[in-house]
Amino acid sequence: MDSLRIEATEDSPFVNLDFAANKLLISGESRPENASKFYAPVLKWIGDMEALLPNQKETSSFVFKLDYFNSISAKYIMDIILVLKKYIDKGYKVNIEWHYDKRDDDMLDAGKEYADAAAIKFDFIEF
């Protein structure tokens, strides 16, 4: 499976989805003008990732390291989390890391709300 790399812009986050290297990352600011167009390839890639999970040797960690996201991005972030939850529920080794600035209580709270809404465990990592 090819990796998916999308460079950050002023309005959209950096995305690096590379299953072979176990680098699954979305970072930066997420407020793209057309969120559905931006997140469509990300969601497709994550959906296609299931074919690789039965043969995985180590836990795949999906890292969210967002500085800011708008309300429409919030919906797509939840969509990603729900796909990952499906994999976790099937017994695949998938971990979600929610990185947040130690001065940003709102970002920490957002991660906790996602974890509660999806009923899955997140690893919260402050930087």
Give me the residue spans of the domains in the chain. 4-126
Burial class (CB in 10 A: 0-12, 13-18, 19+), 46: buried
Q: What is the average pLDDT across 26-52? A: 97
Tell me the pairing of strands 94-100 and 4-6.
unpaired
Give residue 71's pLDDT.
Answer: 97
Closest CA to 19 of 1, 6, 41: 1
Backbone angles phi, psi at 110, to 5 degrees: -60, -45
The single-letter DSSP state of residue 74 is H
Which tokens go with 64? 């969210």
Give residue 25's pLDDT.
Answer: 98
CATH T-level assignment (fold) for domain 4-126: Transcription Regulator spoIIAA (3.30.750)
Q: How far separated are the first and last CA of the chain, in Å rounded?
A: 31
Q: Could you tell me the pLDDT band of residue 57, with boundaries at 50, 70 and 90? A: confident
Q: Could you tell me the pLDDT band of residue 24, with boundaries at 50, 70 and 90? A: very high
Q: What is the average pLDDT across 9-29? A: 96
Residue 1 pLDDT > 90: no
